[in-house]
Structure 1
């Protein structure tokens, strides 16, 4: 392939990627508000600002788009676990993962709500992902934490249930933001609120693991 043909191909690929990202982000918001049954491809097209034909071209149908949204959410949530490695500092690795999850809850609350709604309905679409990709990742990262415990780098904890606790603590600020805002007397969480919540969750979980609380400043 010559450079003259490569350039248009690269541009076309970038356009496709950008369109897919717009559609997935829009679908995330629509599915969060209307649920799978209530959402329509027309609504998602309007939200994305792209023709409905584009949605069908890239994802086939609503079911295919919904599956793509869920797969993207899980992929983005698991990406920060890459920092949990045997050679990493436990406080930095676990604290970094918590901060990443809190940041995602703040930036993409609709993603958390779509995921929660799927699980509340028995996980009919993601059950396979839960039993394969998610399970494998948690087992691998829990093994790292068990190694840190054996080496005396942190306090003994149930490494698997630590992840359940971490997910619950971070995602509550997206899934139950109405409750949090009502208690705080806010119409919506401010950046200061989010920063305060992040420092609280990081400190609480790290201390529970017998680790030093590192400042993010």
Structure 2
């Protein structure tokens, strides 16, 4: 049976997309565990369950796989901060931001470790993004926090260090997952661990930012 040209193209594209996703899933496993420098194409091909030549048909270099993953991660990683609403109630916005970041740590631990490894190695592949889109977004949200403080909705604080602190305390549960599980033990595993963390971090940040009703 002869397959029309359009159908052939569609089928080839679908198969290519499936293979690329298979490779990127394997690359995410390897890069998040070993970092870019500690990973090899042979390792990724083995995890993907395909030959090295077959893998190289879809991604010619290790850098190409890493770049594709980093681009995805950076966009996803910034999404909760983009949702930070200047018109919203500060307590609600900060609470939602903390919870969204913890949800990402829970749902995307490999992606979080991939990003952390990249930054720890000097961010050679995303330096422009950090100094460009990331900085611009953080600057924008820092102005939101300053405006809240100026209007008396929260106490005066350094907005950058507030954002950094939320990043570090939420991402800790992905980047140092092994340490967290070792310390807390099995009884604090799963969803309950993240809910406990959310409640504590809400108390820490929101309680610390809430203005004194007596103005003292």
Same fold (TM over 0.5): yes
Residue by residue over 1:116-154, the C-alpha shift from the partner in whole angstroms, topping out at 9 and shown as x without a partner, is: 222222222222211111111100111111122222222
Question: Which deviates more, 82-91 or 7-16?
Answer: 7-16
Query: Quick one: distance in 2 between partners of 1:63 and 1:187?
Result: 40
Taking structure 1 as the reference length, the TM-score comes to 0.81
1:171 is matched with 171
After superposition, the Cα gap between the structure-2 partners of 1:160 and 1:21, relative to the gap in structure 1 and judged at 3 Å, is farther
What 5-or-longer segments of structure 1 have no aligned partner? 212-217
Match of 2:78 in 1: 78
1:112 and 1:76 map into 2 onto residues whose CA distance is 10
Q: Cα offset for 1:8?
A: 7.7
Residue in 1 that maps onto 2:160: 160
Aligned residue runs from structure 1 range 1-217, under 5 A: 17-49=17-49, 52=52, 55-186=55-186, 189-210=189-210
Q: Is the 8 A contact 1:55 1:61 kept in 2?
A: no
Instruction: Report the structure number with the largest CA radius of gyration.
Output: 2
Could you say what the CA RMSD is over the residues aligned between the two structures, in angstroms? 2.7
Contact 1:32 1:114 in 2 (8 A): yes
Task: Report SS of the residue matched to 1:156.
Answer: coil
Normalised to the residue count of structure 2, the TM-score between the two structures is 0.81
**Matched pairs, number:** 208
CA distance in 1, matches of 2:66, 2:168: 23
Gaps of 5+ in 2: 212-216
